[in-house]
Amino acid sequence: MKHYPVMLPEVLSALSPEDRETYVDGTFGNGGYSEAFLKAANCHVVGLDRDPNVQPRAEELSAQYNGRFRLIETPFSKMDEVSLENVDAVVLDIGVSSMQLDQAERGFSFMRSGPLDMRMGNTGPTAADAVKSLEHSDLIRIFQVYGEERRARRAADFIVRAREEGDIVTTDALADVVEKALGRTGKNHPATRVFQALRIFINDELGELYCGLCAAEKILKPGGRLIVVTFHSLEDRIVKSFLRRRAGEVSGGSRYAPEVKKDGPAASFKEGKRSVIKPSKDEVQDNARSRSAKLRFAIRTEAAPFPMDDGLLPRVPSLSELELLL
C-alpha cells in the first residue's frame, strides 16, 4: 500500500528545503517526509524511529540518495542524546504510522485481528498487560483523558467484568467487549477512543511528545525550524502551549483584564505562524487520515533552552505504575 505523508505541501512550505542543510525526521515511519526532503534539495536527513521494523526502508533510502540519509534507532524524545546538534529543522508527525496500523501483529487496530500489543518499540508492557493489570479507576482515567471517551466508566466496567472470566489478549476480543459496553450509535466503531487511549498510554505518547519538543529545542540552531503535525486535541494542546511559552507569550489576558507579559527566560522560539495550519479540502477528500491533522511551526532564536517542566501534561496513571504491577 502506498504511503501518503500527511500535509506534505504544508510541511515543505514551512521547511523551505535548501542544499547543504540537515533535517531531522523525528518520526521516520515509512519515510514519506524524509524522501520528500531528499528530493526537494541536496540536503542531509537523519531519520529517528524506535521501531526496528523500519530498517529495510531506511537502508533503501540511504542507497537511493547516496548516503544523504541515515537512520538512528531511538525515540525522538531522546534526539538530544544521539550526537545531533545545530540542525536546521526538526519535523515530527505525531501518532501511530499507517505502516504500523496495517500490521495486524502489532495490535494497534481493532480492524485487524491480532495480539493486543500496541507497542511502537519491542520492549515494555503491552496493551494486554494494561487491560489485565490496571485498577478499574486507572482504566477510567486513561479512557477519559487519553481517549476523551465520555462513557469511560462503562467501558472500564465491562472490561473488568470480562477479564474476571479470562485474559483479554487480542484486538478483536477487546473490541467486542467495548462494543457490548457502548453499543453502536454512529459510523465510527465504539472502541475507537478506547484503543486510542491504550495506545497513547502504552507508548507514553504525550510524555514522548513533550520531551521531544524539549530535545528539539536543544539541538536546533538559531533560525532552525520546528515543525509538528498532530492528530488530536491533546497533542495539539501540548504543542500550542509549548510554543507559546517558549515564544514568551503574554498570559492572564481576557476581555476584562489586560494581558501581562510573563516573567521568565528569553524567548527560545518565535512562532512561524500564530494560527494553526490545516490540510486542504482536496487532501482530506483523498486521504481520510489527514482530516484531523493540524500543523504548527516555529523558528529557533539564539536564547538558551527553557528548563523542562512537565506541567503541560495531563495527570494520569503512569506507565511505570503498570510496570510495577507486572
In a domain, 155, yes or no: yes
Strand, helix or coil at 292? Answer: helix
pLDDT of residue 136: 97
Domain CATH code at residue 115: 1.10.150.170
Across the chain, the runs of DSSP E, i.e. the strands, are: 22-25, 44-49, 69-73, 87-93, 220-230, 250-251, 260-261, 269-271, 294-300
Please state the domain count of the chain.
2
pLDDT at residue 95 is higher than 80: no
Chosen domain end from 204, 239, 258 = 204
Segment 301-318 shows an average pLDDT of: 89
Contacts of 149 (CB under 8 A, 6+ apart): 143, 155, 193, 194, 197
Q: Is the dihedral of CA 130, 112, 278, 302 positive or negative?
A: positive
Residues in the chain: 326
In a domain, 321, yes or no: no
Could you list the residue range(s) of the whole structural domain that residue 303 is in? 8-99+209-312
pLDDT > 90 in the chain, percent: 71
Same structural domain for residues 21 and 159?
no
Q: pLDDT tens across 30-71, in order?
A: 999 999 999 999 999 999 998 888 999 999 999 999 999 999
Model pTM? Answer: 0.87
Q: Which of 176, 178, 172, 207 is nearest to 194 (CA)?
A: 178
pLDDT at residue 265 is higher than 60: yes
CB-CB contact of 189 with 263 (8 Å): no
pLDDT of residue 262: 56
pLDDT of residue 252: 41
How far is it, in rounded angstroms, from Cα 46 to Cα 113? 34
pLDDT at residue 318 is higher than 50: yes
pLDDT of residue 254: 39
Same structural domain for residues 214 and 284?
yes
Same structural domain for residues 90 and 125?
no
Q: How confident is the model at residue 243 (pLDDT cuts 50, 70, 90)?
A: very high
pLDDT of residue 232: 87
Question: Which range among 81-95, 130-144, 178-192 shows the weakest confidence by mean pLDDT?
Answer: 178-192
More confident residue, 184 or 249: 184
